[in-house]
Amino acid sequence: MAKPASKKKKTESLSITTPKSTRFTPPRWRILPPEVIHIIVELLKDDKATLRACSLAARDFSPAALSLIGRHLTMNHVPRIRQCLQLLVDNSAFQHVRSLDLGVTSKSSDPQGYLAEQFTILDIFAQRQTLTRLWLSRFPFSSIDPARRMGFLDIVTALGSTVNDLGLYGCIFPSYLDTISFIRAFPHCDALFIRDCVADALHLNL
């Protein structure tokens, strides 16, 4: 006698679905109102570390924060100055620099070519008309050849229209009169620092 065909038990699969209306969606970043950003930046303007962290976490803070974070630039590593030239031009963060410390060490192999790089750096900021503080360390004014002197004076004149804080450390001038002429190129300067500078075999300290 044939056995009756066994009926296969139906297996039910359980699927858990969530209605679209109740699915979790991460909150979208919203642009903060400019007045809120201004208030927060003003409160943090003396706390550069926190302000930098805020600008990294929220892009909305970056423009306002960079105007405070990137105000001071020190360039003393001589071998890297050439590599920084393009960075100064391309990176918008350097447009907010108000204070520049430029340390120069004479390069005996090509002093004029080396000075040309320094002129380029100063010319970048002279064209932007943003510097209010300029400190030059060990700048060999006496090594500037006559062909470059006029161009350098044009750069200095442009810088002098905005700089009100001037510092000279360990600089060498061809003569005492050249020192006076350089300082006179900064008519708005109300803070002057001169230390270990040499002109006509005279050591200048002020």
What are the domain boundaries of the chain?
Answer: 32-69, 71-204
Does the structural domain 71-204 have CATH classification 3.80.10?
yes
> What are residue 95's phi and psi, to 5 degrees?
-70, -15
Q: Which residue from 137, 177, 134 is spatially nearest to 156, judged by alpha carbons?
A: 134
Measured CA to CA, the distance from residue 112 to residue 40 in angstroms comes to 47
Mean pLDDT by 10 residues, the chain (206 residues): 56 48 48 71 75 70 67 72 73 81 70 76 90 91 82 92 94 88 93 90 72
